[in-house]
Amino acid sequence: MTAFSLEPARLAWCAELRALAAERLRPLAEKGEPGRVDRALLAELGALGLLSRLFASGALDLCLMRESLAHACTGAETALALQGLGAHPVHAHGTPAQRARWLPGVSDGSVVAAFALSEPGAGSDAAALSLTAEPAAGAAPGRGWRLTGEKRWISNAPDADFYTVFARTTPGAGARGVTAFLVPADRPGLTGSRLDMLSPHPIGALAFDAVPVSADDVLGEVDRGFRVAMDTLNLFRPSVGAFAVGMAQAALDATLAHTARRDAFGGKLKDLQSVAHQVAEMALRTESARLMVYAAATAYDEGAADVPRRSAMAKLLATETAQYVVDRAVQLHGARALQRGHLLEHLYREVRAPRVYEGASEVQRGIIAKELYGNPEDR
């Protein structure tokens, strides 16, 4: 199998996912309360076996799930993705006890996970984070800390049941002095608040007032948490691209249907060359983005050396492409697309954020350039 031609079984699975999203997940998502974790939706994702598949499949299957769900229900896609993002560090770097305690609940949808990296002064520059992990009084070296500081723009906060938190254990060490911790939401000193964002899912801030953590809460190794963060982002960045491709395809499909039936100037809208060429460009860009996403995911699954570059390219191209395609779709639909409740009005709001989170487009360009200019011996 190559990244450019999915075998029939995978194509059938994608079709099944799109049908499930439309028939079983979208009705639940439409009943959810904006800005709150939709636990009924998570429970259904768990019952369908999709959440457990987050930990049993590779990057390509993750991309196919996100693209297929996004095509019919962005709410279900986002709920699934945030569970994966928050819990992947536990799955990949946690101890057997940590995995046994938390992953079964994540898989059945009863436990909500969150990835807490961004801070008010360290969003895309993850190495600059300042949440401090100071040694706890009386604790043996490397055995206990107190977390003090703030996290901000954290998806699923403050509703999550646990957070993967990145804190500075060695001052002045940049990326080398960061440790990842698994922090249950009920730890003393941890509080959260909601942020009023352009988002249907919860996004909040977390305040840490000497929150106690121990060696049993460390994910991976002390001072090696940046590796945990980057491993997670390298996996999930192509899948953000897949989310974007799913939205772009939904917008393209709606545009094909609309331009084929809409009467205009004595014919159908599609008969106007300017319109047909715009639709062709939308299709070209969507397919190009899809292929780059699949290629990046396959590179991750195969352990290729250039995963950071490919992941950044896939997220960058796909999210920028989706913004273009959805914007063109709105333009070709006219005023009807701006009416509340219209698919394109929904997609127009949804498509903007992926160009910012998990590394803004400018950060992705920086990663690509750094990889290209990396080691002169590699060129």
Catalytic machinery residues: 358
Q: What is the DSSP string of 32-46?
A: SPTTS--HHHHHHHH
Enter the DSSP assignment of 5.
B
Determine the Cα–Cα distance for residues 83 and 133; give it in Å rounded to an integer: 25
Contact call for residues 288 and 277 (beta carbons, < 8 A): no
Contact call for residues 167 and 149 (beta carbons, < 8 A): yes
Q: How far is CA 363 from the centre of its chain?
A: 16
Q: Which residues pair with 113 in a beta bridge?
A: 162
362: tokens are 């400018």
307-333 helix and 343-350 helix, angle to the nearest 10 degrees: 150
Determine the Cα–Cα distance for residues 358 and 227; give it in Å rounded to an integer: 15
Q: What is the DSSP string of 232-249?
A: HHHHHHHHHHHHHHHHHH
Distances (CA, A) of 115 to 151, 347, 360: 10, 24, 17
